[in-house]
Amino acid sequence: MSNDVSKDLKWWETATIYQVYPRSYQDSNDDGIGDLKGITSRLEYIAGLGVDAVWISPFFKSPQKDFGYDVADYCDINPEYGTFADFDALIAKAHALGLRLMIDIVPAHCSDQHVWFQESRQSRDNPKADWFHWVDPKPDGSAPTNWLSFFGGRAWSWEPRRQQYYLHNFLPSQPNLNHANEAVREAMMDVARFWFDRGVDGFRLDAVHTINGDCAPFEDNPVNPDFEVGPLPQDQQPFFRQLHDAAQLNQPSIQKFSEAIRQVADTYDDRFLMGEVDGDNDDAVKVSQTFTQAGRLHATYNFDLLEWDGLTVDGMKQAISHAVDAFNGTGRLSFAFSNHDVPRSATRQLARLSVSEADQQALQLLLLKLEISLIGSTCIYQGEELALQDIDDIPLDRMQDPWGIEFAPAFAGRDTCRTPMVWEKAQPNGGFSNANDTWLPVAERHLERAALDEVKRPESIYNKLAEFLRWRKSQPAMMQANQMGPISGGPREIIFERISEAQTLRCCFDFDTLTASFEEI
C-alpha cells in the first residue's frame, strides 16, 4: 500500500504529539537546566521518531515556584530558558523538519509576581482591583470558606493592603484570575495572538477547567461523611473543593473564554486548541463534551488513561469505551498514558498489569501502539519512547516539586517523572549537561537507555515506534477517519476495529504476549 495517504482531516485530528518538559530536556549552556537552544539541538531526534508535533511545557518569565505554571509574564521568556531569538530559531527549525509546535498557556491563574496581581493587591479601587477573586473575611477574620488547594492548605491567602483574601487553586503564589471580568478575558486573547503571530501552531490550555469567574456565593463545602484517605493529596482532604461539578463547568465565564480563544484561533490558519480538563469525581467525558461543543475548543486532553496507580486491562477497556462512545467519528480527544504530572506509564502500569521487569520495554511499546491506534490525537511524554521508568529515590533535600515537598515523605510528588533526559551513556550527566550539578539528579538507571544510544540500536523501542508510526501513516483506517468499532477481547486483550471508507483494520493488543497485531479485513 502506498505511504502517501491523503486525508481531509485537520492535522491535529490524527496527530502524534511529543511533549517536552524544557527544564529536563537538554542544557545548552551548562547551568544544569534545560533550555530552548537545547530543545532545538534535539529536534532531529524528535523528527526522526516520526511524530507530527512538539508540545513544550511553559518557558515563560516566572519565579519558577511551580516551574513555569506560575507565569509572571505571558509574553516573555524566562532568562534561564533563553531569548526570543532562541525561540524563533526553535520554531523555524521545527517547521523546517515538518514538525508543528505547540506551547502551554496557563489561563486560570498567574504568578503573584505578575504586574496584574501586583497592581490588584494594592487597593480595592485600582484599575485591576477586580482582576482576581478578592473576598472579605468572615466576621471572626478567618478565610471566606473552608476550600482547600490542590497543593495542600487553604485555597485563600490574606492580603493586608486590601484587608481581603484572594483565591488560589494551587500555591498561594498562584492567584486565580477572575474570568468574569471581560478585561481579563481580552488580556488572555492578546496573549494568544502574540504567540500565534510568532508562528505557534497550537496551545495546550493548562487546567482550563479550573478557570474561575462566577464563584459567588462563596460557601463552605460540607465534609464528606464517606471520606476515606486515598493516595493523592486531594484524597487526604475531606472538604477539598470540587471545582469540576456541572455548575462550575457551565459558568458563563469559562465557556466564554473557550469561545473567545476559538474565535482568535480561527482568524489564523490551521491552529489547534487542546484543553487540559479533568472531571475528578464527576464524569470527565461530559466535561470534555462541554469544552468541545461547536465554537469552543478543538479537543480536550483526556485523563482516562492517566490513572495515578495505573489501570488493569479491564480498566483500560472501560476508559477507552467510555471516551469513544461519546466521541466516535471525531478528533475531539487527545489520549495520553504519561505526562509531567503523573508517574511514568512504564512504572505504574508495570505493577498494575503484573508484568515482569524483564518485559517492561515490551509493555511500554504495546501501550504506545495502543494509544496511537485510538481515535483522535496522542501525546507522548519525553522518555516514553525509551521506556524510562520513574525515579523513586530522590532525596528530600533534592526535591523540587512544591506538591511533593508539601506532602513528603508519604507522597513523592512529580519530580519522579521529571528527571533530566539522558542522551549518551558515556557523557557527563548522560549528555544532558556538563554542569557539576543538575536541577534534578540524573537517573543512573536511565543511562542504559540513553536516547542517542538507543537510536543506534535497531531493536530499541525508539526504532520500533518510529517504524510503527511510519506504517500508521500508510493506513487509511487510521488517517482518513476517526471511527472505531466496539472494544472486545479476553481478560488480557483489547481488540477493536479502525474503520474508514477505504479500509477496516482489526487492531489486537495482547497483554499476555505483550504484542500488537493488525489485520485488514
CA–CA dist 388, 498 (Å, integer): 29
CA–CA dist 408, 192 (Å, integer): 37
Q: Which residues pair with 381 in a beta bridge?
A: 19
Q: In terms of Cα–Cα distance, which of 387, 284, 404 is closest to 341?
A: 404
The DSSP annotation for 120-189 comes to: HTT-SSSTTTTSB-EEPPPTTS--SS--B-TTSSBSEEEETTTTEEEE-SS-TTSPBBBTTSHHHHHHHH
Q: Phi then psi for 203, rounded to 5 degrees? A: -125, 140
What element of type H or E holds 462? helix 461-472
Q: In terms of Cα–Cα distance, which of 61, 180, 178, 165 is closest to 108?
A: 178
The active-site residue out of 66, 201, 276, 454 is 276
- What residues have CB less than 8 Å from 295, skipping those under 6 apart? 259, 262, 263
CA–CA dist 520, 160 (Å, integer): 68
| Sign of the four-CA dihedral 121, 126, 132, 133 | positive
Give the distance from CA 260 to its chain's centroid.
22
Q: Please name the residue that has the C-alpha cell 465534609.
A: 223
Active site residue 197: no
CA–CA dist 255, 293 (Å, integer): 10
CA–CA dist 83, 88 (Å, integer): 9
Active site residue 276: yes
Give the distance from CA 450 to its chain's centroid.
23
The active-site residue out of 206, 307, 415, 453 is 206
Would you please indicate which residues are annotated as catalytic (active-site) residues?
Answer: 206, 276
